[in-house]
Chains A and B, each alone.
Chain A
Amino acid sequence: MSTLDKLNDVFREVFEDDDLTVTRTSSAKDVAGWDSVMHVTLMIAVERAFGVRFKSGNVAGLKNVGELADLVDRMKAGG
């Protein structure tokens, strides 16, 4: 399962929407309810799903799901 597919599962769980599909270009504007509060909940859920630990510098300024997927891949690779 690719990082993006796994992220899609996390998004569906956090936003409680089984029909939700995110792509690399999806951003907060494309997902209903993705506000600052949900962003934190989402990041925690991503941490738990992938076994990584973010810092504030990582999660601030992410432009889209593609950047999030790249960040997760980098952190898993130990970068």
Chain B
Amino acid sequence: MSFVQVEFLGFFLTVFALYWAFPTVKLQNRVLILASFTFYGWVHPWMLALLAAVTLVNYGAGRAIVARPEWGGRIVGATVALCIAALCGFKYFGWFVEAFAEVLPDSVRLLRVGLPLGLSFYTFHNLAYTIDVHRERVKMEPNVETYLLYGSYFPQLVAGPVERPSNMMPQFNTPRQFDVELVRSGFGLALWGAFKKIALADTISPYVDAIFAHPDPSWAMVWAGALGFTVQALADFSGYTDIARGTSRMLGIELMKNFDHPYMAATPMEFWQRWHISFSTWLRDYVYLPACFSPWVRRYVTLPFTGEWSPFWHTTRALFITMLASGIWHGSTWNFVVWGLYHATMATIYTAILAKLPKKLKKQGGWRWVTVPLQFGVTVLGMYIFREPLLSNSWARLQLNPFDGSREQWIVATSMVGLCIAASLPLVAAMSFEKFVLPKVERAPWLLPLQTTAWAVFAIAVFSSVRTTATDFIYFQF
């Protein structure tokens, strides 16, 4: 089930009413487990088996680590290998069949194996628990029901945020009281998320698709399309996250923030602190830092020719490993590999340059006025590489003459840029209101009517923009 399906409204209202009708945590958790499995098995009930398997394997691993701490490393290794093998099996089966079609028997070649919805997200989410139990950052959860809920909680199940046990377990184990303020705030957040997804992202989406599908675009069309996808990606994914966080808040469970105005970043490193934060920090804690600090790396991987352990060499190498892993995770086409390497290269270049610049310069008022637009350019190019599956197309189209193009092509490019500006206005207005106005007027008597009016506008925009053929969230495919 998707948040933007009409069925979800009925589903959530039922869950919401049932959930708050029960007085104890135990019963509320049971409602949420039942709801999560209904939500996930709505279209393909067989996928429930996979969700239950991943969840129970990690629950068992947590218990085993505590029972046999001396085997902790091996248990974590085996659990990670098993879960990642299952993920890769589903994710790259199509690629594997295509690559080895000539030598594979028909029985394998004709199999159609799709990626189960959200498999990546709940695999990462569950692995975080097993690794953190081993690292002694969280306590093992003895209650299988609480763990089932952690592993399958529906608001964040299919596309994150990739939560951590240290944030979720205490909330699942604490009594939750109905709080009208939380429900109101959660509803507003979810409605804002739906507005971003349906009124903004889905409105731009067909135009972006048309430009990327155009066989012979001009240079201006290429960059306008890239800009369009940059706006669409943020509205789509942050919209999804806000619906997830909002619905969860209405149930008294707070999910972590996943976006923090990423296009206001001044450097690639800052961008990853603001974009898809839950996954960026997951990669940092479970891929990047082990690639720097694991005892094996420190013993055997040293600076070429010197045998020394250099921070710059190790951070750079770890950065490339992490971004390559991120690229490969996003898909089996080469553009994702290049996208990962591109971001690692940019982060390395920025790190090297920033280290040489005087501290005073970075503290000057105009610093961000220069660096934020520059980083936005880096982001747009990254988005273009991400969206265009054919590298040959990317390479050829980025080399086009900027001044070429027919009158119609210039009109298309200009219209796309205009659409991007129009779609960005609500995002910029919301950011400015949240940062500059809200702190000063939190107790103003007119704030509530203003908020209600804004909600009405969002609701009208959502219902007038919704199409019968609603597009899926971009991140559902990963």
Q: Is A40 a contact of B135 with CB atoms below 8 Å?
A: no
Residues A16 and B134 in contact in the complex (CB < 8 Å), given A55-B294, A55-B295, A60-B286: no
Most buried by A among B164, B288, B312, B362: B288
Q: Once the chains are docked, how many angstroms separate the CA of A53 from the CA of B92?
A: 38
B398 to chain A, nearest CB (A): 28
Residues of A within 8 A of B204 (CB): none
Most buried by A among B166, B289, B311: B289
Q: Mark A41-62, 1 if CB is under 8 A from B, else 0.
A: 1011000000001111111110
Residues 4-36 of A at the B interface (beta carbon under 8 Å): 16-17, 28, 32-33, 35-36
In the assembled complex, B132 has its CB within 8 A of some CB on chain A = yes
In the assembled complex, B284 has its CB within 8 A of some CB on chain A = yes
B164 closest partner in A (C-beta): A61
* One of B269, B285, B315, B362 near A61 (C-beta < 8 A): B285
Residues A16 and B359 in contact in the complex (CB < 8 Å), given A36-B269, A37-B269, A57-B135: yes
Residues of A within 8 A of B216 (CB): none
* One of A37, A44, A53, A61 near B137 (C-beta < 8 A): A61
Residues of A within 8 A of B298 (CB): 53
Q: Is B166 a contact of A61 with CB atoms below 8 Å?
A: yes
A16 closest partner in B (C-beta): B359
Give the interface residue-count category, chain B.
20 to 34
Q: Once the chains are docked, how many angstroms separate the CA of A44 from the CA of B388?
A: 39
Residues of B within 8 A of A33 (CB): 354, 362
Residues of A within 8 A of B134 (CB): 57
Q: Once the chains are docked, how many angstroms separate the CA of A73 from the CA of B292?
A: 22
A17 closest partner in B (C-beta): B359
Residues of A within 8 A of B319 (CB): 36-37
Q: Is A61 a contact of B311 with CB atoms below 8 Å?
A: no
Q: Is B359 a contact of A56 with CB atoms below 8 Å?
A: no
Q: Once the chains are docked, how many angstroms separate the CA of A32 from the CA of B362?
A: 10
Interface Cβ pair total, 8 Å cutoff = 64
Residues of A within 8 A of B135 (CB): 57, 60-61
* One of B272, B295, B312, B354 near A36 (C-beta < 8 A): B272
B283 closest partner in A (C-beta): A36
Residues A37 and B284 in contact in the complex (CB < 8 Å), given A43-B293, A44-B311, A55-B295: no
Q: Is B311 a contact of A56 with CB atoms below 8 Å?
A: no
Q: Once the chains are docked, how many angstroms separate the CA of A54 from the CA of B135?
A: 12
Q: Is A37 a contact of B289 with CB atoms below 8 Å?
A: no
Residues of B within 8 A of A61 (CB): 132, 135, 137, 164, 166, 285
Q: Once the chains are docked, how many angstroms separate the CA of A60 from the CA of B284?
A: 8
Residues of A within 8 A of B290 (CB): 56, 60
Residues of A within 8 A of B164 (CB): 61
A19 to chain B, nearest CB (A): 10
In the assembled complex, B343 has its CB within 8 A of some CB on chain A = no
Q: Once the chains are docked, how many angstroms separate the CA of A35 from the CA of B354?
A: 13
Residues A59 and B293 in contact in the complex (CB < 8 Å), given A17-B359, A36-B269, A40-B315: yes
Q: Is B351 a contact of A54 with CB atoms below 8 Å?
A: no
Q: Is A35 a contact of B293 with CB atoms below 8 Å?
A: no
Q: Is B269 a contact of A56 with CB atoms below 8 Å?
A: no
Q: Once the chains are docked, how many angstroms separate the CA of A55 from the CA of B289?
A: 9
Q: Mark B350-368, 1 if CB is under 8 A from A, else 0.
A: 0100100001001000000
* One of A32, A41, A53, A60 near B289 (C-beta < 8 A): A60
Q: Once the chains are docked, how many angstroms separate the CA of A41 from the CA of B285?
A: 15
Q: Once the chains are docked, how many angstroms separate the CA of A63 from the CA of B292?
A: 19
Residues A56 and B347 in contact in the complex (CB < 8 Å), given A40-B311, A61-B135: no
B138 closest partner in A (C-beta): A61
Q: Is A56 a contact of B293 with CB atoms below 8 Å?
A: yes
Residues of A within 8 A of B472 (CB): none
B72 to chain A, nearest CB (A): 10
A15 to chain B, nearest CB (A): 9
Q: Once the chains are docked, how many angstroms separate the CA of A59 from the CA of B295?
A: 13
B132 closest partner in A (C-beta): A61
Residues of B within 8 A of A55 (CB): 293-295
A61 closest partner in B (C-beta): B137
B81 to chain A, nearest CB (A): 17
Q: Mark B234-277, 1 if CB is under 8 A from A, else 0.
A: 00000000000000000000000000000000010110110000
In the assembled complex, B314 has its CB within 8 A of some CB on chain A = yes
B283 to chain A, nearest CB (A): 9
Q: Is B318 a contact of A35 with CB atoms below 8 Å?
A: no
Known: A40-B292, A56-B289. 7 other contacts (CB 8 A): A28-B273, A32-B362, A36-B272, A40-B289, A57-B134, A57-B137, A58-B293
Q: Which 9 A-B pairs have the closest CB atoms?
A: A57-B135, A60-B285, A35-B269, A56-B290, A56-B293, A56-B289, A41-B311, A40-B315, A60-B289
- What are 12 A-B interface contacts by the 8 Å CB criterion? A32-B362, A35-B272, A36-B272, A36-B284, A36-B319, A37-B347, A40-B293, A55-B294, A56-B293, A57-B135, A60-B135, A60-B137
